Amino acid sequence: MKNADNHLPRHAPGWKYDLPDPNSPSSLDKSTSAMRTPPSYTCSEYLELSRSTFAIRGIFWIGGGLTLLITAPWIYLFFHISLTLATISMWPSLIGLIIFVAVYWTLIPFLRIDLELPRNEPIRFNRLRRKVYFYQYRYDRIRIFSRSRWGVKPVAYDWDDLIAEA
């Protein structure tokens, strides 16, 4: 029979219970030089770790700009020919318009994310309140021009409700 104190929650395969007890001294040096990325800010009240969503920025902006430059003349030419010639039915023009709107509707969110995404989305561990704050950038692919659906949103979690994974 299992001891109730040794019960651990079930996790995915490959999970390792290698973390020390909460009150045990750390085996690492107390300085931040042992960490790969040092904390952004430390004080007696909170610890803030830097986090970045994208390592390389500008790829969507360059790719999207090239796509816009390449497709815009062809789309203009297609619409000009289909509207000036009376022999062509309206179905190709309608299908071309739907494809045009779909391409730009999928391209604009990537351009906006690449331009507006903050460089740092920190995680703040508040020791006094026992809360963890995540500053997450949110976006909506349906409402691509909305101001309320895009932007940084702070999310707070209780310290006791979190499980640390690396």
Region at 58 (left for phi over 0; alpha for psi -120 to 50; beta for the rest): left
**Model's pTM, two decimal places?**
0.54
> Domain for residue 50, yes or no?
no
Residue 43 lies inside a defined structural domain of this protein:
no
Q: Which pLDDT score, from 0 to 100, does residue 21 have?
A: 65
Domain count within the chain: 1
Does position 70 have pLDDT exceeding 80, yes or no? Answer: yes
99 belongs to a structural domain: yes
Name the band, by pLDDT with cuts 50, 70 and 90, for residue 8.
low
The type of residue at 138 is R
- The answer to whether residue 112 is domain-embedded is yes
Would the pLDDT of 36 be above 70? no
Instruction: Check whether 138 has a pLDDT greater than 70.
Output: yes
Instruction: Let me know if residue 91 belongs to a domain.
Output: yes
Look up residue 118 and give its amino acid: P
Provide the pLDDT for residue 118. 75
Quote the CA–CA distance of 98 and 90 in Å, as a whole number: 12
- Residue 141 is assigned to a structural domain of this protein: no
Structural tokens at position 92: 């190709």
- Rounded to the nearest angstrom, the gap between the alpha carbon of residue 86 and the centroid of all alpha carbons in its chain is 48
In sign, the C-alpha dihedral spanning 129, 19, 123, 50 is positive
Q: What is the pLDDT of residues 107-116, one digit of tens each?
A: 888 888 888 7
- Report the pLDDT value the prediction gives residue 15, as an integer from 0 to 100: 65
Q: For the chain, give the percent of residues with pLDDT over 70.
A: 72
Q: Is residue 109 part of a domain?
A: yes
Mean pLDDT is lowest, of 8-17, 91-100, 125-134, 149-158, for 8-17
Rounded to an integer, the average pLDDT of 118-140 is 84
| Residue 72 located in a structural domain | yes
Cα(136)–Cα(73) distance, integer angstroms: 38
Q: Range of 88's domain?
A: 59-116
137 φ, ψ to 5°?
-90, 125
Q: What is the pLDDT of residue 5?
A: 54
SS3 assignment, position 52:
coil
